[in-house]
Amino acid sequence: MKISYKVFILFAVLLALASASAVSFQSGGQKTLRDGYYTAEMENYHHGWKEFLTIYVNNGKIVFAEYDAKNASGLIKSWDMDYMRRMNKTDGNYPNKYTRKYAAELLIHQTPDGVDAMSGATESFVFFKTLADAAIRQALAGDKKVAFVRTPHIPR
Protein backbone atom coordinates (compact mmCIF):
# COMPACT_ATOMS: atom_id res chain seq x y z
CA MET A 1 0.00 0.00 0.00
CA LYS A 2 2.80 2.42 0.74
CA ILE A 3 4.15 2.15 -2.81
CA SER A 4 0.80 2.82 -4.46
CA TYR A 5 0.20 5.73 -2.07
CA LYS A 6 3.60 7.22 -3.03
CA VAL A 7 2.83 6.71 -6.71
CA PHE A 8 -0.54 8.40 -6.22
CA ILE A 9 1.07 11.39 -4.47
CA LEU A 10 3.78 11.60 -7.15
CA PHE A 11 1.15 11.43 -9.88
CA ALA A 12 -0.94 14.16 -8.18
CA VAL A 13 2.11 16.42 -7.81
CA LEU A 14 3.10 15.90 -11.46
CA LEU A 15 -0.46 16.57 -12.58
CA ALA A 16 -0.59 19.79 -10.53
CA LEU A 17 2.75 20.92 -11.98
CA ALA A 18 1.61 20.15 -15.52
CA SER A 19 -1.62 22.09 -15.00
CA ALA A 20 0.24 25.06 -13.56
CA SER A 21 2.68 24.99 -16.48
CA ALA A 22 -0.16 24.89 -19.00
CA VAL A 23 -1.91 27.85 -17.41
CA SER A 24 1.38 29.71 -17.19
CA PHE A 25 2.16 28.92 -20.84
CA GLN A 26 -1.25 30.05 -22.06
CA SER A 27 -1.14 33.37 -20.27
CA GLY A 28 2.64 33.76 -20.29
CA GLY A 29 3.09 37.09 -22.00
CA GLN A 30 0.18 36.57 -24.35
CA LYS A 31 -2.61 38.95 -23.57
CA THR A 32 -6.07 38.55 -24.96
CA LEU A 33 -8.27 41.27 -26.30
CA ARG A 34 -11.14 42.09 -23.99
CA ASP A 35 -14.63 42.03 -25.41
CA GLY A 36 -16.28 45.32 -26.31
CA TYR A 37 -16.09 48.32 -28.63
CA TYR A 38 -12.84 50.29 -28.88
CA THR A 39 -12.24 53.49 -30.84
CA ALA A 40 -9.11 55.36 -31.80
CA GLU A 41 -9.29 58.77 -33.44
CA MET A 42 -6.72 61.24 -34.72
CA GLU A 43 -6.28 64.29 -32.50
CA ASN A 44 -6.27 66.69 -35.44
CA TYR A 45 -7.70 67.13 -38.90
CA HIS A 46 -5.41 66.36 -41.82
CA HIS A 47 -6.35 67.92 -45.16
CA GLY A 48 -9.78 68.59 -43.67
CA TRP A 49 -10.41 65.04 -42.43
CA LYS A 50 -10.08 63.35 -39.06
CA GLU A 51 -9.50 59.60 -39.35
CA PHE A 52 -11.02 57.12 -36.90
CA LEU A 53 -11.22 53.37 -36.35
CA THR A 54 -13.71 51.45 -34.23
CA ILE A 55 -13.29 47.74 -33.55
CA TYR A 56 -15.58 45.29 -31.82
CA VAL A 57 -13.99 42.40 -29.97
CA ASN A 58 -15.98 39.26 -29.16
CA ASN A 59 -14.47 36.18 -27.51
CA GLY A 60 -11.03 37.76 -27.75
CA LYS A 61 -11.15 38.36 -31.52
CA ILE A 62 -11.78 41.42 -33.63
CA VAL A 63 -15.07 40.65 -35.37
CA PHE A 64 -15.96 44.11 -36.65
CA ALA A 65 -13.91 47.09 -37.80
CA GLU A 66 -14.97 50.43 -39.21
CA TYR A 67 -12.29 52.71 -40.55
CA ASP A 68 -13.16 56.10 -42.04
CA ALA A 69 -12.72 59.85 -41.61
CA LYS A 70 -15.00 62.79 -40.92
CA ASN A 71 -14.75 66.49 -41.68
CA ALA A 72 -15.47 69.34 -39.25
CA SER A 73 -19.18 69.28 -40.12
CA GLY A 74 -19.37 65.52 -39.46
CA LEU A 75 -19.59 64.33 -43.07
CA ILE A 76 -18.11 60.85 -43.43
CA LYS A 77 -15.39 60.68 -46.06
CA SER A 78 -16.66 57.51 -47.73
CA TRP A 79 -20.08 59.17 -48.13
CA ASP A 80 -18.70 62.20 -49.96
CA MET A 81 -19.42 61.25 -53.59
CA ASP A 82 -17.74 64.32 -55.10
CA TYR A 83 -14.56 63.66 -53.11
CA MET A 84 -14.58 59.98 -54.10
CA ARG A 85 -15.00 60.79 -57.80
CA ARG A 86 -12.14 63.32 -57.72
CA MET A 87 -9.85 60.96 -55.80
CA ASN A 88 -10.61 57.99 -58.03
CA LYS A 89 -9.88 60.10 -61.11
CA THR A 90 -6.49 61.31 -59.81
CA ASP A 91 -5.33 58.43 -57.57
CA GLY A 92 -7.17 55.40 -58.94
CA ASN A 93 -8.61 54.75 -55.51
CA TYR A 94 -11.35 56.15 -53.29
CA PRO A 95 -12.33 56.07 -49.60
CA ASN A 96 -15.19 53.59 -49.91
CA LYS A 97 -12.76 51.10 -51.43
CA TYR A 98 -9.65 51.43 -49.26
CA THR A 99 -11.41 51.93 -45.91
CA ARG A 100 -13.32 48.69 -46.37
CA LYS A 101 -10.26 46.79 -47.56
CA TYR A 102 -8.11 47.90 -44.63
CA ALA A 103 -10.87 47.04 -42.14
CA ALA A 104 -11.53 43.64 -43.77
CA GLU A 105 -7.85 42.72 -43.68
CA LEU A 106 -7.68 43.67 -40.00
CA LEU A 107 -10.44 41.13 -39.35
CA ILE A 108 -8.53 38.47 -41.25
CA HIS A 109 -5.09 39.09 -39.73
CA GLN A 110 -6.19 40.42 -36.29
CA THR A 111 -3.26 42.81 -36.47
CA PRO A 112 -2.43 45.77 -38.71
CA ASP A 113 0.91 44.12 -39.52
CA GLY A 114 -0.76 41.79 -42.03
CA VAL A 115 -2.59 44.58 -43.86
CA ASP A 116 -1.15 45.72 -47.19
CA ALA A 117 -1.17 49.33 -48.39
CA MET A 118 -3.22 50.14 -51.45
CA SER A 119 -1.89 52.35 -54.20
CA GLY A 120 -3.45 55.79 -54.00
CA ALA A 121 -4.22 55.40 -50.29
CA THR A 122 -0.79 55.09 -48.71
CA GLU A 123 -1.18 58.14 -46.46
CA SER A 124 -4.46 56.77 -45.13
CA PHE A 125 -2.69 53.42 -44.66
CA VAL A 126 -0.23 55.04 -42.24
CA PHE A 127 -3.17 56.56 -40.34
CA PHE A 128 -4.99 53.23 -40.34
CA LYS A 129 -2.02 51.34 -38.90
CA THR A 130 -1.53 53.99 -36.22
CA LEU A 131 -5.20 53.87 -35.27
CA ALA A 132 -5.34 50.07 -35.33
CA ASP A 133 -2.36 49.84 -32.98
CA ALA A 134 -4.06 52.28 -30.60
CA ALA A 135 -7.45 50.51 -30.70
CA ILE A 136 -5.81 47.13 -30.09
CA ARG A 137 -3.86 48.55 -27.13
CA GLN A 138 -7.19 49.80 -25.74
CA ALA A 139 -8.73 46.33 -26.23
CA LEU A 140 -5.80 44.63 -24.50
CA ALA A 141 -6.22 46.95 -21.52
CA GLY A 142 -10.03 46.81 -21.62
CA ASP A 143 -10.02 50.62 -21.77
CA LYS A 144 -13.18 51.69 -23.61
CA LYS A 145 -12.39 55.41 -23.68
CA VAL A 146 -11.64 56.85 -27.11
CA ALA A 147 -7.90 56.86 -27.73
CA PHE A 148 -6.84 60.15 -29.30
CA VAL A 149 -3.77 59.62 -31.44
CA ARG A 150 -1.26 62.17 -32.64
CA THR A 151 -1.36 62.47 -36.42
CA PRO A 152 1.78 60.80 -37.76
CA HIS A 153 4.19 62.85 -39.81
CA ILE A 154 4.17 61.68 -43.41
CA PRO A 155 7.20 62.82 -45.40
CA ARG A 156 6.48 64.17 -48.84
As averages over each run of 10 residues, the pLDDT of the chain (156 residues) reads 45 39 40 96 95 98 98 93 88 89 97 92 94 98 97 76
CA distance 91 to 55: 27
Q: Give the pLDDT score at 96.
A: 87
Q: Is the pTM of this model over 0.85?
A: no
Q: Give the pLDDT score at 92.
A: 86
Q: Give the pLDDT score at 30.
A: 52
Q: Give the pLDDT score at 88.
A: 86
| Nearest residue to 78 via CA among 90, 68, 88, 86 | 68
CATH fold label, 36-149: Sufe protein. Chain: A (3.90.1010)
Q: Give the pLDDT score at 20.
A: 38
94: phi > 0 → left, psi -120 to 50 → alpha, else beta; which?
beta
Q: Give the pLDDT score at 49.
A: 94
- Decide: 131 and 42 in contact? Cβ < 8 Å: yes
Domain ranges of the chain: 1-30, 36-149
How, if at all, do strands 36-42 and 147-149 pair? parallel
Q: Give the pLDDT score at 108.
A: 97
Q: Reading across the β-sheet that carries 50-58, which strands appear in turn?
A: 61-70, 50-58, 36-42, 147-149
